[in-house]
Amino acid sequence: MADKAVYQGTGRRKTSVARVRLMPGTGTVTVNGRDAAAYFGRAVLMTLVEAPFKVTDTEGKFDVIAKLEGGGLSGQAGALRHGIARALLLAGDDYRADLKKEGLLRRDPRMVERKKYGLKKARKKPQFSKR
């Protein structure tokens, strides 16, 4: 029996890392052993995750199994989107132009700025007292 092709991609966003496996299938997305819609809970995050499939017109053609670690739900959704886009490159080289044009292959470099001493957060100063 011939095995189905499996395409792997790693996505990152903020402090989140997504290890993504893409297989030809019916379009189910499984995250950490749970359905993606149940895992993320918000429709906005699911729209974010499904963006690479919409751009390449491959909705319902691949099953996704992903392991997500670190960060919060928003960062994890961004990491998953990045991982799916990278895995799609391995699935078909003709997807590259569309994914690149939408900016889905670029890792979002924005990170949380570190806290500085004497300040309450990265830039927030303590309240000024005149007296």
Q: Is residue 41 part of a domain?
A: yes
Q: Is residue 96 part of a domain?
A: yes
**Percent of the chain with pLDDT strictly greater than 90:** 92
Instruction: Please state the domain count of the chain.
Output: 1
Residue 2: pLDDT band (50, 70, 90) is very low
Q: Please tell me the pTM assigned to this model.
A: 0.90
Q: Is residue 19 part of a domain?
A: yes
Least confident range of 42-46, 90-94, 110-114 = 90-94
Q: Is residue 60 part of a domain?
A: yes
CB 99 within 8 A of CB 89: yes
CATH number at residue 36: 3.30.230.10
pLDDT at residue 3 greater than cutoff 70: no
pLDDT at residue 92 greater than cutoff 90: no
- The reported pLDDT for the residue numbered 93 is 84
pLDDT at residue 106 greater than cutoff 80: yes
What mean pLDDT do residues 95-112 have?
A: 94
How many CB atoms within 10 Å of residue 19? Answer: 16
Task: Report residue 10 as tokens.
Answer: 């790693």
Residue 86 domain boundaries: 7-101
Q: Is residue 24 part of a domain?
A: yes
Q: Is residue 116 part of a domain?
A: no
> What pLDDT, in 10s, does the model give residues 12-69?
999 999 999 999 999 999 999 999 999 999 999 999 999 999 999 999 999 999 999 9
Q: Is residue 123 part of a domain?
A: no
The span from the CA of 39 to the CA of 64, in Å, is: 14
Contacts of 32 (CB under 8 A, 6+ apart): 39, 66, 67, 68
